[in-house]
Structure 1
Amino acid sequence: MTDIPSLADLVWARGYTDPAWARRHTTSGRELVPSRSVWRGPGGASTLPTAPPGTLGGLTFAGPRGQDLTLAELLTRAETDALLVVHRGRLVHEEYLHGYEPQVPHLNASAAKSYLGLVAATLAHEGQLDRGTQVSKIVPELAGTAFGDAQVDHLLHMGTRMSYAGRPYDKALEAQRYFAVLAPRLRPYGYTGPTTIREHLATARATGEPGVEFRYENGNVEALAEVLRRVTGTTTSALLSEMIWSRIGAEEDAYYLLDSEGSEAACGGFSATARDLARFGETVRCGGAAGDRQVVPEAVASTIASGVPDGYPYRVRFPAAPPDAPATLSYHDLWWIPNDPYGSFMASGIHGQRLFISPALDLVIVHYASQIVSPAVPQVPLVQAFLKIGTHLCG
């Protein structure tokens, strides 16, 4: 059971109960901290064929308290900045709210974890990365830490248990402390903690054997990013550009936020336009192919949902579900899997960022938002809404 945080820890939640504050950071990240571009590559952008508008008119959706909501009401409650729906390769709905503009990259938050997972899975498929290797063999500086003692595959499945700097582990507070590593203006007065991602990872000590229990923690992804940098000899930004972004017909450069050493915030510092994320989602939905170009190996893209291996617990409860609730999600290579009848999977971020891909429904949905984080505000059931959109379009 997690200890109740002290009053001194409440400063770490500042701003996360204000949607305007959240929106400023989700749409203006590179104005606040250093960043590095993820190059879109040479050549023109690929086209996104459009369908006649109005295909979602008349639909109602379940709200956070079970009430019926129109699409407009749902998006309002979700603090939506953008919603794009692509069905069978055609853009059937595109909407931007709160002054957010199509050409502006939007923070993906933890949805970025899944993109790095796809890169790692591809490198493993191609024989450049061994999932069973102990992390400290690749990154010696992490020897003796919870991440260095784990295997690469443990990082890909959030299979480590740790505490930072001897503190009792609290997921929400550790997330805020991670943000403070990146952005000095998010640090409380008198802050004396780590100022780089590597310094932060070095304070993690194992509190249990890796590969036994699922624990969603940013450090797994940052350690994985460092593994990939060592294996490939390039930055996370250049790697994502080379392997994915420059090959999907992106219209704009994406970017990563950087710490003071110049390391990318791989677990949540990635920003891209909604249209380019839709292009990426379509590539994955189509078995890793963008037109006649195979971007991601078909064997990797087509088994994100179906390839969950046996072993330590990959099935987890929905966040905030009672402890005795049955497992309703799976987690594989940093992707969330709802275990619905359509083989769906998604990348998910804290403020309502979603890349939802449903192969059997021929569906890709990009949802950008700036939701506040507060137990007083129930989260909008976006996955259920996405599935209703998909089944409606297939009907």
Structure 2
Amino acid sequence: MSGNASSSAFEAAYGFARSDVRLSNWRQAPWNVWAFRHVSELIPTARIAATPGLTEDAVVDPRDLLRLPLPVGGDNMTIADGLRSTFTDALVVMKSGRVIADYHAPNFTLQSRHILFSSSKSVTAVVAGIVHNDGLIDLDAPVPTYVPELGSSAYADARIRDVLDMRVSLDFSETYQDPRGDFARYRRAGLLEPAVPGDTPDSLIPFLASLQKGPGDHGGPFHYCSPNSDVLGLVIERATGQRFNDFVSERLWQPIGARQDAYITVDATGLARTGGGFCMAPRDFARIGELMRLGGTLDGRRILSDNWVEDTIAHGSPEAWRAGPGVEWLPEGRYSNKWYQTGNANSAFFTLGIHGQMLYVDPVAELTVAKFSSQPEPVNNDLKRLNLALFDALAKQA
């Protein structure tokens, strides 16, 4: 196909030219629809290799599932309406270990890979659980035990457990729209945004080392800060002596039978951005949910300890959660090992990333749902609630 024909095909598929998508606008609509599926064309990445020779089964027709009612606010909505309203790119529904529906937006396939954003944190915590089971991480040890470069930062006296549960006292605000604040500097350190005039570029370690303690002690209220999860990735690298992506491939990706290579964004030094850089195919994302649903085993193979899974899905401090802002959209929630717990009757739990990336597990209904989205806004509490209502409807009807 000639260059002009290729460009015309791209514009016909997405409504804009490939040249329109830049590092300065890749998270904004409408360009995010393409960019979230092609992150490696915008940001440096490291490969997470799948086992060669494994292939996916055929797509499972979702039409019966899409017709199911979605009872929200008395409206006569269907699951299909809910998917459109939440800007869904892909949905995989698994019931009792079997894929029962694949939904793909236009130009998305079983092989397409999509960024997880902060759902990456939950995957990183699964990896931490594997390392902990190997006896290489002490959860009560302070962070500088593994990363001495952080000895003068807020993390000097923070335990690994505080990092896992987002209970680090940190002078940091997750302000997505401020181009000059600490969060923007953090994103630039991860090569996620272009440099700005007068900016001194950082890589992740110098940025993390610059963060200072906030008011109060560590181990207090739930305080969501993405850098905590990059600290956890650093701890994993130092404890294992391997690059993060290589360890993930060997100890998680290949053992769960992932069919597609994944990748993770890296900074200028090649350090993985474990707080938000995972990119993977939808069914492989669902396989991580199945691993958690089955208590750390998959296809009869023990990958993660059942104690770690139990700690993740059944613990977490209700008091710490109620003291944080998440109570507004998840009143009965808790947070443990970077996974959210709904507090509902089925003890469902889930991951969450900006722009609508979620992995939802209902152990009673034996349901796992992986969802990729391209919501225009990074954070929208109404859409969080709608997504949770959608998952609950699937648990009751699928």
TM-score band by shorter chain is 0.7 to 0.9
Q: 1:51 to 1:16 in 2, by over 3 A?
A: closer
Query: Which amino acid in structure 1 is aligned with residue 302 of structure 2?
Result: Q
How has the CA–CA distance of structure 1 residues 123 and 258 changed in structure 2, closer, same or farther, with 3 Å as cutoff? same
Cα distance in 2 for residues equivalent to 1:175 and 1:220: 13
Q: Establish whether residue 34 from structure 1 lines up as the match of residue 38 from structure 2.
A: no
1:125 corresponds in structure 2 to 133
Taking a change above 3 Å as real, the CA distance of residues 102 and 141 of structure 1, as seen in their structure-2 partners, is same
Cross-structure match for 2:392: 387
How big is the shift at 1:58?
3.4
Question: What TM-score does the superposition give when structure 1 sets the normalisation length?
Answer: 0.85
1:367 aligns with 2:371: yes
- Match for residue 350 of structure 2? 346
The aligned amino acid for 2:341 is: I
Q: Measured at CA, do residues 118 and 162 of structure 1 come closer, stay the same or move farther in structure 2, by a change above 3 Å?
A: same
Separation (CA, whole Å) in 1 of partners of 2:339 and 2:380: 27
Which range moved further: 201-210 or 375-384? 375-384
Residues 46, 243 of structure 1: CA spacing in aligned structure 2 closer, same or farther, 3 A cutoff? farther
1:183 aligns with 2:191: yes
Q: Determine the C-alpha separation between the residues in 2 that align with 1:370 and 1:76.
A: 11
Counterpart of 2:252 (choices 235, 244, 247) is 244
Aligned-partner residue type, residue 22 of structure 1: N
Give the counterpart letter for 2:393 in structure 1. K
Deviation at residue 320 of structure 1 after TM alignment: 8.0
Q: Does 1:232 align with 2:240?
A: yes
Secondary structure of the equivalent of 1:180? helix
Distance 2:320 2:134 in 1: 26
SS at 1:244 equivalent: helix
> 1:242, CA displacement in angstroms?
1.6
Residue 10 of structure 2 is matched in structure 1 by: none
TM-score after normalising by structure 2:
0.85
Equivalent of residue 308 in structure 2, options 279, 300, 310: 300
Contact (CA 8 Å) 1:318, 1:329: kept in 2 or not?
no
Q: Evaluate the alpha carbon distance shift between residue 373 and residue 49 of structure 1 in structure 2; reply closer, same or farther with a 3 A threshold.
A: closer
Residue number among 60, 63, 69 corresponding to 1:59 in the alignment: 69
Please give the secondary structure, in 1, of the residue aligned with 2:156. Answer: coil
**Distance in structure 2 (CA, Å) of the matches to 1:84 and 1:264:** 26
Contact 1:317 1:328 in 2 (8 A): no
Structure 2 SS opposite 1:147: helix
Evaluate the alpha carbon distance shift between residue 378 and residue 177 of structure 1 in structure 2; reply closer, same or farther with a 3 A threshold. farther
Question: In 2, Cα distance between the equivalents of 1:309 and 1:125?
Answer: 23
**Number of the residue aligned with 1:198:** 205
Mapping 1:265-284, distance limit 5 Å: 265-284=273-292
> Can you list the C-alpha shifts for 1:144-195, whole angstroms capped at 9, x where unaligned?
101233111110011112226xxxx4543444432222237x2363051443
SS in 1 for 2:383: coil
Query: Is the 1:45–1:249 Cα contact (8 Å) retained in structure 2?
Result: no
* CA separation of 1:210 and 1:375: change in aligned 2, threshold 3 A: closer
Contact 1:84 1:367 in 2 (8 A): yes
For residues 390 and 254 of structure 1, the distance between their equivalents in structure 2, rounded to whole angstroms, comes to 28
Equivalence for 1:6? none
Residues 204-251 of structure 1: CA deviation (Å, up to 9, x unaligned): 010232111211011111111111111100111112112210111111
Change (3 A) 1:254 1:299: same
Q: Secondary structure at the match of 2:245?
A: helix
Q: Structure 1 residues 317, 364: closer, same or farther in 2, change over 3 A?
A: farther
The whole-number CA distance in structure 2 between the counterparts of 1:385 and 1:326 is 15
2:334 aligns with one of 325, 330, 336: 330
**What's the secondary structure of 2:100's corresponding residue?**
strand
- Cα separation, 2, equivalents of 1:253 and 1:220: 26
User: Do 1:315 and 1:331's aligned partners in 2 also have CA atoms closer than 8 Å?
Assistant: no
Contact map agreement 1:108 1:268 (CA 8 A) in 2: yes
Quote the residue 2:5 is aligned against.
Answer: none
Give unmatched runs, 5+ long, in structure 2. Answer: 1-22
Judging changes above 3 Å, is the alpha-carbon distance between structure 1 residues 83 and 128 closer, same or farther for their aligned structure 2 residues?
same
Alpha-carbon spacing, 1:91–1:351, altered in 2? closer, same or farther (3 Å): same
Contact 2:139–2:159 (Cα < 8 Å) also in 1: yes
Shift of the 200–67 alpha-carbon distance from structure 1 to 2, 3 Å rule, reads: farther
Read off the aligned partner of 2:304 and give its amino acid letter: V
Q: Distance in 2 between matches of 1:326 and 1:289?
A: 29
Segment of structure 1 superposing worse, 369-378 or 227-236: 369-378
| 1:197 shift after superposition | 0.7
8 Å contact kept, 2:174–2:226 = no
Unaligned runs of 5+ in 1: 1-12
* Secondary structure, counterpart of 1:365 in structure 2: strand
